[in-house]
Amino acid sequence: MQKDFLRILDFNTEELEEFILLAIEIKEKFVKKIFHKPLVDRTLGMIFDNPSTRTRISFEVGMLQLGGHAISLNSNDIQLSRGETIQDTARIISRFLDAIVIRTPSHEVVEILAKHADIPVINGLTERFHPCQILSDIFTIKEKKGYYKGIHIAYIGDGNNVANSWISAALRLKFHLTLACPEGFRPNREVLETAGKYAETEIQVIENPYDAVSDADIIYTDVWVSMGQDSETKKRKEVFSPYQINSNLVEKAKKDVLIMHCLPAHRGEEITSQVMDGKNSIIIDQAENRLHLQKAILEILLTRNEKNKKE
Distance (Å, rounded) from C-alpha 174 to C-alpha 263? 25
Q: Which residues within the stretch 247-266 sit at the binding site for ligand CP (CB under 6 A)? A: 262-264
User: Is 77 annotated as catalytic?
Assistant: no
Instruction: Tell me if 54 contacts ligand CP by CB under 6 A.
Output: yes
Given candidates 52, 65, 161, 244, which one binds ligand CP under the rule CB under 6 A? 52
Contact call for residues 83 and 57 (beta carbons, < 8 A):
no
Given candidates 94, 133, 164, 272, which one binds ligand CP under the rule CB under 6 A? 133
Contact call for residues 257 and 192 (beta carbons, < 8 A):
no
Residue 130 or 308 with smaller CB distance to ligand CP: 130
Instruction: Tell me if 136 contacts ligand CP by CB under 6 A.
Output: no
User: Is 130 annotated as catalytic?
Assistant: yes
Distance (Å, rounded) from C-alpha 125 to C-alpha 135? 13
Closest CA to 140 of 209, 252, 220, 84: 220
Residue 134 or 154 with smaller CB distance to ligand CP: 134
For the CB of residue 169, give the shortest distance to ligand NVA in the complex, in Å. Answer: 15
What is the DSSP code string of the chain? --SSB--GGGS-HHHHHHHHHHHHHHHHHHHTT----TTTT-EEEEEESS--SHHHHHHHHHHHHTT-EEEE--TTTSGGGGT--HHHHHHHHHHH-SEEEEE-S-HHHHHHHHHH-SS-EEE---SS--HHHHHHHHHHHHHHHS--TT-EEEEES--SHHHHHHHHHHHHHT-EEEEE--TT-PPPHHHHHHHHT-TTS-EEEES-HHHHHTT-SEEEE--SS-TT-GGGHHHHHHHHGGG-B-HHHHHTS-TT-EEEE-S---BTTTB-HHHHTSTTB-HHHHHHHHHHHHHHHHHIIIIISGGG---
Given candidates 121, 125, 154, 258, which one binds ligand CP under the rule CB under 6 A? 125
Instruction: Tell me if 104 contacts ligand CP by CB under 6 A.
Output: no
Instruction: Tell me if 55 contacts ligand CP by CB under 6 A.
Output: yes
Given candidates 65, 168, 226, 281, which one binds ligand NVA under the rule CB under 6 A? 226
User: Is 236 annotated as catalytic?
Assistant: no
Residue of 4, 107, 133, 236 with catalytic role:
133
Instruction: Tell me if 162 contacts ligand NVA by CB under 6 A.
Output: yes
Q: Which residues within the stretch 140-169 sit at the binding site for ligand CP (CB under 6 A)? A: none
Residue of 128, 130, 261, 292 with catalytic role:
130
User: Is 36 annotated as catalytic?
Assistant: no
Residue 14 or 230 with smaller CB distance to ligand NVA: 230
Residue 79 binds: one of ligand NVA, ligand CP, none (C-beta under 5 to 8 A by kind): none
User: Is 274 annotated as catalytic?
Assistant: no
Q: Sketch the per residue contact string, 207 through 246, with ligand CP: x for CB under 6 A, - otherwise.
A: ----------------------------------------
Binding site for ligand CP (CB under 6 A): 52-55, 125, 133, 262-264
Q: Where in the sequence numbering do the catalytic residues fall?
A: 103, 130, 133, 222, 262, 290
Binding site for ligand NVA (CB under 6 A): 125, 160-162, 222-223, 226-227, 262
